[in-house]
A and B are shown apart, each in its own frame.
Chain A
């Protein structure tokens, strides 16, 4: 980890948004990967296709699937780019990861599961506790991510100097 205080500030400020977006994209890809690996493949809680799936849900799922693949790989190349420029600010990057992961999980839990009925977390059980746990986790990730982003915003880096 590079200590941001040792970097000269214009660079930390200039690359603040790239750190944020790289983390955000990685968080998005990470949560999509966990969803696929844990809930689809290991637990078999999620279904590949649900009879209730609407066309709009199918389209949104397809785009998110493609986007999460791209985000995972692309964001890691962005990290490599930040590192070779000596401008990787891990704290801000993690702020981005948590925000991206939280936002995606919240979107998945509310819009994809409920509004478009793409799939549910589990089947043949009382779904409410699962939905509540899912969305509260998402909310906590989002909140802590945003908090980290506020603490590491460029203005603050300058003031701390």
Chain B
């Protein structure tokens, strides 16, 4: 485990993503059987997300990430940010509700409305889980310990993905979300999260985790900063786009100036 990533860890981490992809395809088939064809774009988005997460946790990139902080950061961007975004855009819960028989679909929507679920989809909770987790990982002994323990390695990678997914889903409502936070609240929390990510990226530039050389910390930190920017821009765009659609003026007549607004 110390020198290279064991094959067991790679397979154990790969399994959930393979299963997720497989289950989704079954959902697509069942949805089509009920005469409701599922969007090909959403299917592609979900599969691409599963594939990118898989590439990051198993195979050459995962092995490289054991030795190089730069590649570790690349993996982090894939597992914690890009894959969750693509998978949220795949709208898995909507697909699930469509594919299930009505009785079970009702059970699922009951679960979605339940209290514990509302906590998980709260932007503030998801942000603390996501950004807080990263701060703990890189500023304490966890990063070094992760390379010694198989269990910790699996736990941290799963945590990074789940926290990233919850965070994305709590900001951008693609799937049914019974407990919706307002745009201002989401925007402020998203702002704080982006800042927390950017500050940590620059902090790592000067304060590398244990056993990471200065040059590697610098390269990894800049990748985290600018790579994060790219995905954050998509998140901001989606939040703003949804606001733009929701704030559509109702009294608008095509081609005519509006006389009654906001009332």
CA gap between A77 and B246 in the complex, in Å: 12
Residue among A48, A63, A85 making CB contact with B205, cutoff 8 Å: A48
Complex contact B202–A58 (CB within 8 A): yes
Q: A66-B191, A81-B247, A85-B252 are in contact. Are A8 and B257 (CB under 8 A)?
A: yes
Q: How far, in angstroms, from A111 to B222 measured CA to CA in the complex?
A: 24
Given contacts A81-B244, A84-B252, contact A73 B236 (CB under 8 A): yes
Q: Bits for A47-66, please: 1 = Cβ < 8 Å to B, else 0.
A: 01101010000110111011
Of all chain B residues, which has the CB nearest A49?
A: B205
B218 cross-chain contacts in A, Cβ below 8 A: 48
Return the contact of B233 from the options A49, A58, A69, A84 (Cβ within 8 A). A69
CB distance from A27 to the nearest CB of B (A): 18
Measured CB to CB, the closest approach of chain B to A33, in angstroms, equals 11
User: Quick check: A62 and B236 within 8 Å, CB to CB?
Assistant: no
Instruction: Please classify the interface of chain B as helix (H, G, I), strand (E, B), loop, or mixed, using the class held by over half of its residues.
Output: helix
Q: How many residues of B are in contact with the other chain, CB < 8 A?
A: 35
State the total of A-B contacts with C-beta under 8 angstroms.
81
Secondary structure type dominating chain A contacts:
helix
Q: Are A53 and B252 within 8 A (Cβ)? A: no
Contact status B244-A80, CB under 8 Å: yes
Using a CB-CB cutoff of 8 Å, which residues 206-258 of chain B contact chain A? 206, 218, 221-222, 225, 229, 232-233, 236-237, 240-241, 243-244, 247-249, 252, 257-258
Q: Is the CB of B240 within 8 A of A77?
A: yes
Say yes or no: is B261 at the interface (Cβ < 8 Å to chain A).
Answer: yes
Q: List 15 A-B contacts (CB under 8 A).
A: A11-B258, A11-B261, A53-B206, A58-B203, A59-B199, A62-B196, A65-B194, A66-B232, A70-B194, A70-B236, A73-B236, A77-B241, A84-B248, A86-B258, A87-B258
Chain B interface residues (CB < 8 Å from chain A): 187, 190-192, 194-196, 198-199, 202-203, 205-206, 218, 221-222, 225, 229, 232-233, 236-237, 240-241, 243-244, 247-249, 252, 257-259, 261-262
